[in-house]
Amino acid sequence: MVSKIVLAYSGGLDTSVAIKWLKEKYNADIITVTLDVGQKEDFKFIEDKAYKIGAIKHYMIDAKEEFARDYIFPAIRANAMYEDKYPVSTALSRPLIAKKLVEVAHKEGADAVAHGCTGKGNDQLRIEISVRALDPSLTVLAPTRDWGMSRDQEIEYARKHNIPISSVAKKYSVDQNLWGRSIEGGPLEDPWNAPDEDVWEWTIDPKKAPEEPTIMEIEFKNGVPIKIDGESMNPIELIDKVNRIAGLNGIGRIDHIEDRIVGIKSREVYECPAALTIIEAHKDLEKMVLNRRELTFKKIVDNEWTFLIYAGLWEDPLRYDLEAFINKTSERVEGIVKMKLYKGSAMVIGRESPYSLYDIRVATYDSSSTFDQSLSKGFVTLWGLQTVASRKFLK
């Protein structure tokens, strides 16, 4: 028997209708929870709306610092780019939402939590699996997935029950946080249509970006950024600054065909200036301080870590296992990377580290080189021994 439900509340149509629908269906008290993960919305308006529709209590949680420290920073260490394109910006926030739902449910003595995810997307996995992993005793409800209403029926339901809805039809569905914006729907559903300029908010058209490049120095310690151009910053300030500067240089636009976990091929558009810039710098610094075998194996680890996050398996023990390796290699990922930001391109043009494996005395081609080239003759013979021996059997 469900008597008190904690609902992840965005203030949008789906979760607004869900307040009333859940209250009617289960005759339950509804407690709403909204997390600030950097989406820059009117949270007072969202709170007032929740109460107006029928919530008995509302929690507004500023989770930006926790999101940056415990979710974005591990993603940077893992060079997290799903299918080599998407820096899992939306995906990262979902297990944090699930965690806060469980915390509020425990505090309020609730027996259920609810979310507004549909049955076609990935977010249902990310929230439900995390909630059940953290507290299997909680019932998880998904009204948007279960009620069977079309969009038009939702709007009619909202009008019938005096639920405030926007009078302006939205062209796109947008979700954003510190690490990026996701934009979908409308004309973007046709993969042949190029995104209109009104899709973008954080980035300027690269053609209109400054004619002079911006040089930015990003300093890392333990695999995460700590300074921009020599200035120490907290994680939120740092990400905001890189988002702003990279976006002004036209960096961060992503358009690709993505494999959802439910099997759907979807056209996804993202805007992630800081993510693309910082991860590019981080990958380059790793190449300077980790050896070839570490880099090769870490790429496998990074890909698996990223898949777990995308697939809603944040609480899987494998993530903790993989992070043990990632965190160990990150101990040497320290130094400064110099980036050239110019008309949509974030290019590494310099790097230095106290753990650098680059030795100019060995690498140089001038007479000061300490590399004994005479050793290469035998090495070449042995390195190609099996290739040469087996070549004669190829047909």
Strands lying side by side in the sheet with 224-228: 231-232, 224-228, 214-221, 335-342, 345-352
pTM beyond 0.85: the answer is yes
Say if 4-169 and 174-290+332-352 have the same CATH topology: no
| Residue 354 to residue 348: CA distance in whole angstroms | 18
Give the pLDDT of residue 150.
80
How distant, in Å, are the alpha carbons of 17, 132, 244, 247 from that of 238?
37, 34, 10, 14
Give the pLDDT of residue 250.
98
Answer for the pair 242, 341: CB distance below 8 angstroms, yes or no.
no
Give the pLDDT of residue 164.
83
- φ and ψ of 123, to 5 deg: -65, -30
- SS3 category, 335: strand
**Annotated catalytic, 123?**
yes
**Domain at 4-169: CATH architecture:** 3-Layer(aba) Sandwich (3.40)
- φ and ψ of 18, to 5 deg: -60, -35
Enter the tokens of residue 83.
């299918």
| Residue 201 to residue 223: CA distance in whole angstroms | 29
- φ and ψ of 226, to 5 deg: -125, -20
Per-domain boundaries in the chain: 4-169, 174-290+332-352
| Residue 295 to residue 298: CA distance in whole angstroms | 5
Q: Are strands 335-342 and 345-352 parallel, antiparallel or unpaired?
A: antiparallel
- SS3 category, 69: helix
Answer for the pair 305, 323: CB distance below 8 angstroms, yes or no.
yes
**Annotated catalytic, 152?**
no
Give the pLDDT of residue 165.
76
| Residue 286 to residue 222: CA distance in whole angstroms | 11
DSSP 189: G
Enter the tokens of residue 257.
């065909």
**Annotated catalytic, 173?**
yes
Give start and end residues of each alpha helix (H) in the chain. 13-26, 43-53, 64-67, 73-77, 89-108, 123-134, 143-146, 151-160, 235-248, 273-289, 292-310, 317-330, 360-363, 376-383, 385-391
Give the pLDDT of residue 154.
86
Enter the tokens of residue 345.
């391109």
- SS3 category, 291: coil
- SS3 category, 271: strand
Residue spans of the chain under pLDDT 70: 167-169
Q: Are strands 29-36 and 4-8 parallel, antiparallel or unpaired?
A: parallel
Give the pLDDT of residue 168.
52
HSE-up (13 A, CA, CB side) for residue 28: 23
- Of 62, 146, 159, 173, the active-site residue reads 173
Nearest to 225 by CA among 280, 282, 276, 302: 282
Query: What is the CATH number that goes with domain 174-290+332-352?
Result: 3.90.1260.10
- Of 77, 94, 319, 332, the active-site residue reads 94
- Of 29, 123, 284, 302, the active-site residue reads 123
Give the pLDDT of residue 171.
81
Strands lying side by side in the sheet with 180-184: 173-177, 180-184, 265-271, 253-259
